[in-house]
Each structure stands twice: as structure tokens, then as C-alpha cells.
Chain A
Amino acid sequence: MEAEEKKTEGRFLQLVKNIWRNYSVVVMFVLLLLISGAFAPRFLRPENLLNILRNTSVVGSIALGMTFVIIAGGIDLSSGPVLATSGAVLIFLQRMVNPDGTPAVPLPLAILACCAVAVTFGLLNGLVITKAKLPPFIVTLAVGIIARSITMYVCRGATIMGNNIPQFTQIGSGSLFSIPIPFIVVIVMAVLFHIFLTRTKYGTYVFAVGGNENAARYSGIKVDRIRIITYMLVGLCAGIAATMEMSRMAAVAAATSGAQYEFEAITAVIVGGTALSGGRGRLIGTIVGFIILGIVNNMMIMLNISPYLAGAVKGAVILFAVLMQRRER
């Protein structure tokens, strides 16, 4: 009898351990929700929760692409500046009007151009990293600095206001069945990306390249091509993020649009349990990761804590999340 009891208890412990190992970030997420609710009852109101989702979607979009880059063993420090550059392109195209007041460039075309610019930056990152064999950290840092500088130049360092087009504003500020459109966009992206990552050959190769580049090469996988694809993907994500951000702000600020977004995105990926060393990771973790960051931001406001302290809290969250994951391995 006793032995049997012990056995079931052992099994229960095992189950708890397994849940923790696979879903530690989800457990943390739920804990954070409960704690937040306890400290600030207003926090749990639906309009506040939906607002959090809307606010995190821009960084969330970048974080989805960043997950691919990090799983493949890379990093992208240029996403924030690239968001600004492609956003500037969008605003400039959107400001062009015919003499009769109608837009000179159709909105979908402007959005497409914005994404194309961002993807081109990704291609540039990928080509330099793989062909010149330079560390991703340095290449994307440099490309980011270049992108920011170009934005500053074309905007003359100022904030450029866009035209007020209702359809355009909808993208960032509208809702569908009371769910914020940016969040719907991010979820649709996440589903597509998840299928790509887990169901297609290329997704598996992304893991293989990040896990052991040499073994991937000896297995005939075109390692350079895979890595370039991941950088183009995060570029596309930055382009989509730029569209949502420009729509909400209706303006591009040369110096501050997208500033620090690359770090927020990387934080979300790490908090979500993707290994910085490459080869392991999940998109669901990233989603929970960026929502956690959104909650932290939101709570800072709710609890009337100086926004200047947000960085300190986020830094602590990163350390805590990584420490928890390290313990389990």
C-alpha cells in the first residue's frame, strides 16, 4: 500500500516537473496575471487587457521573426532602426497626394513598399553574415546604425506627420469583434510561422542550422540560404510592425521610432524559453514572452511607478526567466 502511494506521489511529482519544464513560462505568466490582479484590480478589466495586447503587438511582430533568427543561431540588432526606415518610406508614400486630394500611391502598395524595404535590409544582413562570414552581432549592429542614420537624413532629424486616412488608422487602432487588429495580425502571423517552423522541411533545417551548423552542412542542408531566409523573415516582421506603428502614431519620429524595439523583441524571445545558443525554441513561448513584457509595462503605469524604472524591472524579468530555465536543464 505504502509503496504504491509513494509511486503515485512520484508520478505526480514527475508530472509537475514535466509541466514546469515545458511550460515554465506559462506558469510564470499565470502567476504574473494573478499578482497583477491582486495589486491593481483595474488591471483585470477587459479594456485594459485588450489595451495591453494592442500595445505589445508591434514588438510582438518583431519577436516572432527574431525567434527564427535566434533558433538558427543568429541575432538581429537592426530591427528597431529598420522599422523606422521602412516606416518613413510608408509615411512619405502616404503623404503624396494628387492635385484632387486623393492619395497618389494606393495604400496597399505603400504598405508593400514598406515591407519590401524592411525585407531588403534583412537580405543585406543575411548576405553579409553568410558570405563575408562576419558575426551577426556586429553586422546587424552596423546595419542598424546605417538604417537609423538614413532615416534621420531623409526626415532631417524631425518627426514627419502622415496624412489622416481613416482606413490606414484602422490598422493600428481598430478592432474586430473588440479584439485589437494589430493583435489579430500577430496571431495570424504566429499561426503561419508555427506551421512553417514545425511542419515544413525548412523549419526543421532552421533548428538544424542553429543546433549544429557543420552537421547540417554535411547533411546537404544549404546553411547559408537558411540563415539568409531567417534574416529576411525578421525583416518582413519589422515591415509589418512598422505598418502597425505608423498607423497608430500617424507619424515617423526619425530618432525614436522603433528605438529599443530590437532589445524588447530579443527579451521576449529569451523569456519565452528559446535558447540563445540556437537549435531550440518555440513560438508559443515568444508570444507569452512579449505579453509578459506588455503586462510589466502596463503594471508600471497602474502602480504609478516611474517609467524610468521600467528597464530595471525588465532586466530583472530576463534574469529571473533565464535563471528558471537554467535550473531545469
Chain B
Amino acid sequence: MTNTLSMRGISKSFFGVEVLHKVDFTIEQSEIMGLCGENGAGKSTLMKILAGIYAQEAGEVVFKGNVIRKGTTPLEVQHLGISMIHQELILLNELTVAQNIFLCREPRHKLGLIDFGRMNEEAAQLLNKLGEKIDPRRQVRDLKIAQKQMVEIAKAISFNVELLVMDEPTSVLTGKETKILFDLISSLSQQGIAVVFISHRLKEITDACHKVTVLRDGNFVATREVSEVTARDIASLMVGREVQESKVSDFAGDPNAVMLEVRNVSDDMLKGIDFKVRKGEILGFSGLVGAGRTELMEAIFGIRRPKTGKVLVEGQPVTIRSAIDAIKADLGFVTEDRKETGLVLCRDIGENSNYVFWQKGRGFFKQPRASTANTKRMIDRLGIRCSSPRQLVSNLSGGNQQKVALAKWLLSGARVLVMDEPTRGVDVGARQELYRIIKELAAEGVAIVIVSSDLPEILTICERVIVMHEGKITGELKSSELTEDKVMYYATNIQAGEGHGG
């Protein structure tokens, strides 16, 4: 049987970091192929190369026996019969369903004007084929997400698609909608269309796919028949053979010295979250992207308002309605995206490091002497490499920026420090320094909560790990029982009994 698509030896780097290393990927006609891997394994990048959004540095893409040359535009790729449905749907909200489907290919009258009658009719036919009853004249903004997805699929089919790539299509769907989508995928497959299906939910892979390909750290790991593997096997493949064990000993401090307690935090994303972190403990939050970890931290810190939930600091309930309330309760929050929410890039180190210190202090004036001393102390302690405290934060490297973002909370005297992806975009050397600082802070009695999607990072510093999946806590592990594959089982929420053995 001939391969519909074969990608061979695909390599790609971003800013000198290799994200794909000689990856092979093949799919045959009518096949439904699952594509799995941890965050950052290279799934989306591989598919974006296929769709013509990125150009590979090495390797070739062969579709129906013809090489797709590098530099082929996404539109040309679509005309060849390959369509991709992105994680974030890219429909134009202000246009109608039919206008979106036929964007830039609108049927025209003789005079060159758009023939809306014919366009709506053809759109209706396409949607009928999918068993969807959406009025093609409706504005896309009024549709539900599942319906928008159907419009994307209709658009793909209108290109006479032979290979359809879907990047985590189910992450935004309800159970019922997912079922409908799977029926549709299977009927597309019966019409001879090959489907690549990316998902973090391994059960969906085993339910809906014929085969599964696993990537890890930009490398091809394996392609297996789904009938021959269990979800657990796939999880093991995602993590790798040499499963890393935790290098940290269990928390040895007073188990009763609870610094922060969170009770029953719920909103539309979070489902009844309870957890505690003790004085001097380093607690990790693991999970896949979209598990709700950042949302949880924002809810605790007063950035989001949860529907229910209580926060206690050292046993005392505190009411947190905005960031300033959290700051007054001695909480600190080093955010995930320092450029968006952590730092004022066009101001200097001195100002950025003192914002919270000033909030906490009384008075109208800045206390220049104390502020300057603060900044100097932080530059020394955290090893911030800069020409002077007056240097603009925008001129610092990622690691040094992260240290300034951290300095702001150290100077506030936070007793609980939440760090969301503390080493994202930080080079290896600075990363080790940050780990050392985190451990020092814990030794001084600060309760530390680390949200990280980087499993080796969790294993390197956390004494206890809570794993989340779709807004729920699915598991908790002490560092002595911590292994990458156990975390992965919880993070992908393989049903109980399947994941626990061994």
C-alpha cells in the first residue's frame, strides 16, 4: 500500500534550539493516526511544517508521490489536499459561515461581484455532508465552539481534502460533542481521507485512532497499532525508557506548620480544588497545558474571582478580591509570562524590584534610600547581571529578567511564593541558580508552590507534587514515590486501576 504522506528526517530549530530532530512520520490513505507527546515534544511544530506554516531545515515531505518543495505557502498546501485545523480556531468572527468557508475563493458573478446565493448554497451542501444544520448566513461569532470546528472541517472538505490534521480538537469540546466529532472522523476515513489527530487524552487516541505515533523532545519514538498498545504503554513511550526518578528527599519540616491552605476552589474551569503547603515546603503542580494550574494560582491571588473557595494563611482565613489583598496576606506570585504580567520592561531594575515593597509600606514618598538598598541587596543575592540598578529591564537577558520578577516578591516579604513556570525561556546556567535560590528560600521558611510543565524540573526541586487534569486534582506524589511516568499517568488521567500498578 502506498503512503499518502511521508515526512522523512524533518529537523527544525527555533533560535538555535532544536525542536525537531530527524523526525519520520508516515500516514496512509483512510488512516486515522494519533500523534502524542509531552508539552514541547514537537507535535504542533511537525504539523505546522506539513501545513506550510514553518519551513523545515532538513528532510523532505512527500505527498501522494510528489515532493512538496520548501517554501510552499499554506494556501498552496491546502490546494494540494492537506488541511490543518488549529488548536485556536482561525475563523473570522465578523463574517458569515459561508464567507469563512470560501474566503478568498468566493464564487463570482460575471461582473466579478460575489455570488452570495451560490456561495450560501454550496456552503449548506458542505455542512449537510457533515450532518450539521448550521445556517451558512449566520455570523461565526454567534456559533458555539463545536459548531465553529464543524465550519473549519467544512472548509477543509471544500478544498477536496485528502489529509486532515486536527491539533487538539477535543480540548474545547464536551463529551457529547467529542463523540459526534469522532463519528465524523470515522466517516471521513471511510471516504478515504487520512486524519492526523493530536490529543493529550490517551483514551481518545485508543478509542478513535487506528495507529499512534509518539514524539519525545523533538525525536521520533515509535509508531504502533492502537490495537496492540494500552494507554499506559503510550504514556511510557511519551516519557521515555530511562524514566527519571526524583533527586529530592521528602519534605522533612513540621507537617503541621501549614502556611497556605486552599479549600474547595471552583469556577467554570476549576473543580473543587483543595491543597495545603507547609512552611519551608516546595510543592510542585504538574499537568499538561490547559489543566487549569495557572487559573488556580490566579484564583488564589485574586486575579480571577472563583465561584467558591477559601484561602487560609497560617490557619487564618483571608479574603482576597484583588492582587493587593493577596499581597497584604503575604502571598507572592511570579507569573508565567514575565513580559506580559511580570515586569514593566520600559522601566529600570530599581523600580521593578520595589513595586510591591512600596505597596506594602506606608507613606507617600518612595523612601529612596531603602529602595536603593533593596535593589542592591537583590542584585547581589540573586546574582542579577546588570550595568547598574538604573538599567532598563528590557535590556536584560531572560534569566536576569526572571530574577528581577522574583526580586519584587522577595522584597515584599512574601511567606508564600507561587512561581508559575519559573525557568521558562531561561538558559541552563541561570536555571541552576534559580533552583538554588528557590531551595534557599524554602530553607528560610517560605512556602513555595511551583507550577511547571517541565517534568525534569519538577523532579529536580519539588518535595511533593500535585498533578492536575482538566481543572481537577488527579494525583499527589511525595518525592520518594515520584517518577516521570507516574506523573504522566495522572496528568493524562488514565482511569484508575490502569495507571497504578507497578
| Chain A interface residues toward B at CB < 8 A | 199-202, 204-205, 207-208, 211-212, 214-222, 275, 279-280
Contact = CB atoms under 8 A, between A and B. Distances in A.
A216 B346 CA distance: 13
Given A204-B351, A218-B333, A279 B344 contact: yes
B355 interface: yes
A221 B359 contact: yes
Contacts of A221: 324, 355, 359
A211 to B, nearest CB: 4
A279 B352 CA distance: 12
A277 to B, nearest CB: 8
A23 to B, nearest CB: 17
A211 B345 contact: yes
B324 A200 contact: no
Contact of B346 (A201, A202, A205, A280): A280
Given A199-B365, A211-B345, A279-B344, A218 B323 contact: yes
Contacts of A208: 344, 347, 351, 355
Contacts of A199: 365-366, 368
5 contacts: A204-B355, A212-B340, A215-B343, A218-B333, A219-B355
A108 B346 CA distance: 42
Contacts of A212: 340-341, 343-346
A170 B303 CA distance: 53
B129 to A, nearest CB: 43
B359 A220 contact: yes
Given A199-B368, A211-B344, A220-B323, 20 more contacts: A199-B365, A201-B363, A201-B366, A202-B364, A204-B358, A204-B366, A207-B347, A208-B351, A211-B345, A212-B340, A212-B346, A214-B341, A216-B344, A218-B301, A218-B335, A218-B341, A218-B342, A219-B356, A221-B359, A279-B344
Interface in B308-331: 322-324, 326-327
Contacts of B355: 204-205, 208, 216, 219-221
A189 to B, nearest CB: 18
B408 interface: yes
Nearest to A222: B324
Contacts of B342: 215, 218
Nearest to B344: A211
A207 B355 CA distance: 11
Contacts of A219: 323, 327, 355-356, 359, 408
Contacts of B368: 199
B410 to A, nearest CB: 13
Contact of B356 (A200, A217, A220): A220
B344 A220 contact: no
B323 A211 contact: no
Contacts of B346: 211-212, 275, 279-280
A220 B343 contact: no
B365 A201 contact: yes
A69 to B, nearest CB: 17
Interface of B: 301, 303, 322-324, 326-327, 333, 335, 340-347, 351, 355-356, 358-359, 363-366, 368, 408
Contacts of A275: 346
A275 B346 CA distance: 11
A214 B341 CA distance: 5
Nearest to B322: A220
A195 B340 CA distance: 29
A200 B323 contact: no
Contacts of A216: 344, 355
B365 A211 contact: no
A215 B326 CA distance: 15
Contacts of B366: 199-201, 204
Q: 5 smallest A-B Cβ distances: which pairs?
A: A211-B344, A220-B324, A219-B355, A279-B346, A220-B327
A234 to B, nearest CB: 20
Contacts of B344: 207-208, 211-212, 215-216, 279
A202 B364 CA distance: 7
Contacts of B408: 219
A83 B213 CA distance: 70
Contacts of B324: 220-222
B340 A215 contact: yes
Contacts of B365: 199-201
B215 to A, nearest CB: 33
A202 B355 CA distance: 10
A185 to B, nearest CB: 23
Contacts of B303: 217-218
Nearest to B356: A219
A167 to B, nearest CB: 34
Nearest to B394: A211
Contacts of B340: 212, 214-215
B259 to A, nearest CB: 20
B295 to A, nearest CB: 14
A74 to B, nearest CB: 16
Contacts of B364: 200-202
Contacts of A215: 340-344
A204 B355 CA distance: 8
A205 B301 CA distance: 20
Contacts of A202: 364
Contacts of A211: 344-347
A45 to B, nearest CB: 42
A220 B323 CA distance: 5
Given A211-B347, A215-B343, A279-B344, A201 B323 contact: no
